[in-house]
């Protein structure tokens, strides 16, 4: 968002706060007015989050040197020798 868009958003949220204040003076502390006030507060919080520089506009590109390649070939069967399949519960016990 540009600075102009953020300023317009802030101005509009301010107008919404004034409208909800007018509704509160007319209808009191009705549940619908409380929900509207909560929604406007949430909009204000979200707009503040957008204004922070920590929100990335796009994901950062992946560094190719950081990628770990896993081979497609089968693993060495000796790696699994003596291991039980927990889902089967002692599948290889007689082979030890």
Phi, psi of 32 (to 5 degrees): -65, -40
Which pair of structure tokens corresponds to residue 22?
Answer: 């007018």
Query: pLDDT for 7-24, tens place per residue?
Result: 999 999 999 999 999 999
Please return the burial class of 44, using the count of CB atoms within 10 Å of its CB with bins 0-12, 13-18 and 19+: middle
Query: pLDDT for 29-59, tens place per residue?
Result: 999 999 999 999 999 999 988 877 765 567 7
CA distance 44 to 9: 9
Indicate the pTM of the whole model: 0.53
What is the DSSP secondary-structure string of 60-75? PPPPGGGPPP--SSPP
């Amino acid at each position: 968002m540009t600075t102009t868009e953020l300023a317009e958003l802030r101005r509009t949220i301010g107008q919404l706060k004034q409208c909800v204040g007018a509704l509160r003076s007319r209808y009191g502390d009705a549940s619908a007015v409380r929900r509207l006030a909560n929604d406007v507060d949430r909009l204000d919080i979200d707009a503040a989050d957008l204004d922070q520089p920590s929100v990335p506009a796009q994901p950062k590109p992946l560094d190719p040197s950081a990628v770990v390649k896993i081979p497609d070939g089968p693993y060495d069967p000796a790696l699994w020798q003596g291991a039980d399949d927990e889902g089967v519960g002692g599948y290889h016990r007689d082979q030890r």
